[in-house]
Amino acid sequence: MKNMPQDLSTNVIDLYNENCALIYSLLNYNKCNLDLPLLIKKLNARKKHVINPNTLRFFEKYSLIDLPPPTSFDFCNNSVRIGDAVDIDNKSQKILIESLKGLMPWRKGPFELFGVTVDSEWQSNIKWNLIKRKIPDLKNKTVLDVGCNNGYYMFRLLELEPRIVLGIDPSDLYYFQFYFLMKLLKTYKGNNLANKLAYAPIGVNDITPFKKYFDCIFCMGILYHQRSPVDMLKTIKKSLNKYGYLILETLIIEGEDEVALFPKDTYAKMTNVNFIPTIKCLENFLFRAGFIDFEVISISKTKIDEQRPTKWSSTQSLADFLDKNDNTKTAEGYPAPIRACIKARCKN
């Protein structure tokens, strides 16, 4: 790309290659269910798009810090915590804050990083606390998080002792946020989390290298962005083993009919929202894709204490996307966001 610093571009590619090597190492224990050459091909294709003004800017912020290993970390409470304020001096904390601000907006969280509170737009702990008691046993299991954002749920999943958690999301920003967090953990210097977590900057249509590979797949906040939700669910099913579970969280509308809302233009000012089904319609989507044993884990209206603007995110959030005179409706007049989480099992 023209006018890009050559050394910085090289460093971005080196980081990408290093992270890909981690992914291959993490996943290769189950060789018979992984088409590794195809995965390498897909990640190499993604590498062609890695160098751009955003990634170079993110890498500069990623590179600012070189902190000592944290004295402790905690993934079992509402905030994912890495380190404590006493682990670093004031100068290092200022650099840490500069780096974190350079990687804004922080959509999912919250995080506590060496004493710095990253108050994300979404209080993702609210959703996690609703569903975690219904998650199947994941001890020593292989987990995929589709649309993982910056990895908040991946870190929370460690409490359940999985063998590995792979997150996928094609976003450059979320990629750097995740590996920034991993850098704080000093993963590349022997931390055993290197054997648990990895992030691949690919989308759901790129998981074809995994054949009946995962024990459990999380797909949270993704389905309504799909033009063909059943096709996406079929793709996910092919990557689950015969006893595998899907944890699916998505927007729904209320009602007993087997129907879905298809917004004319935007929904809550989002341009990429397609099908918003009733629960019965959602179960039909899942059944056609080859899932059975549906269990509704949670149904909840999204509230402004769960999704709101903060100094770490954007200036607008849920309250700005609703009708100013009636918060039961979106700005377009549709029913305000309700989210459901369903657990389902592969039919065979």
> pTM of whole model > 0.85?
yes
Distances from the Cα of 22 to the Cα of 19, 164, 170, angstroms: 5, 12, 17
Q: Which pLDDT belongs to residue 192?
A: 72
Of 77-86, 163-172, 179-188, the least confident: 179-188
The mean-pLDDT minimum among 84-93, 188-197, 298-307, 310-319 falls in 188-197
pLDDT at 7: 78
Query: What pLDDT shows up at residue 2?
Result: 42
In 3D space, the residue among 85, 60, 71 whose CA is nearest the CA of residue 9 turns out to be 60
Helices (H) and strands (E) counted in the chain, each on its own, are: 10, 15
Percent share of the chain, pLDDT over 70: 97
pLDDT by residue (tens digit) across 284-338?
A: 999 999 999 999 999 999 999 999 999 999 889 999 999 999 999 999 999 999 9
Strands across the sheet containing 73-74: 73-74, 80-82, 111-113, 116-118
Q: What would the pLDDT profile of 30-58 be if each residue is shown by its tens digit?
A: 778 999 999 999 999 999 899 999 999 99
pLDDT surpassing 50 at residue 5 = yes
* pLDDT value, residue 326: 97
Angle at 112 between CA 110 and CA 117, to 5 degrees: 75
Q: What is the pLDDT of residue 28?
A: 83
Least confident of 193-202, 249-258, 301-310, 318-327: 193-202
Of residues 195 and 18, the one with the higher pLDDT is: 18
Distance between CA atoms of 118 and 181, rounded to whole angstroms? 12
Q: What percent of the chain has pLDDT over 90?
A: 88
Mean per-residue pLDDT of the chain: 94
- What is the rounded radius of gyration, in angstroms, for the C-alpha atoms of the chain? 20
Residue-wise pLDDT tens digits, 117-161: 999 999 999 999 999 999 999 999 999 999 999 999 999 999 999
pLDDT tens digits along 223-245: 999 999 999 999 999 999 998 99
pLDDT attached to residue 6: 59
In this prediction, residue 188 has a pLDDT band, given cuts at 50, 70 and 90, of very low
For residue 119, give both structure tokens. Answer: 């108050």
Answer whether 43's CB lies under 8 Å from 23's CB. Answer: yes
Q: Is the pLDDT of residue 80 over 50?
A: yes
The answer to whether the CB of 128 falls within 8 A of the CB of 162 is no
List strand residue ranges (DSSP E) for the chain, in order.
Answer: 73-74, 80-82, 111-113, 116-118, 142-146, 164-168, 197-200, 214-220, 240-252, 260-261, 276-277, 291-301, 322-323, 326-330, 338-346
Is 76 in a helix, a strand, or coil?
A: coil
The closest alpha carbon to 180, from 121, 127, 86, 109, belongs to: 109
Whether the Cβ atoms of residue 219 and residue 236 lie closer than 8 Å to each other: yes
Residue-by-residue DSSP string for 312-332: TS-S--HHHHEETTEEEEETT
Separation CA 16–CA 52 (nearest Å): 13
Mean pLDDT within 250-258: 97
Res 186 pLDDT > 80: no
Q: How is residue 77 written in tokens?
A: 């409470």
Task: Quote the longest CA-to-CA distance of the chain.
Answer: 59
Domain boundaries, the chain: 6-346
**Residue 206 carries which DSSP code?**
G
CATH, domain range 6-346: 3.40.50.150
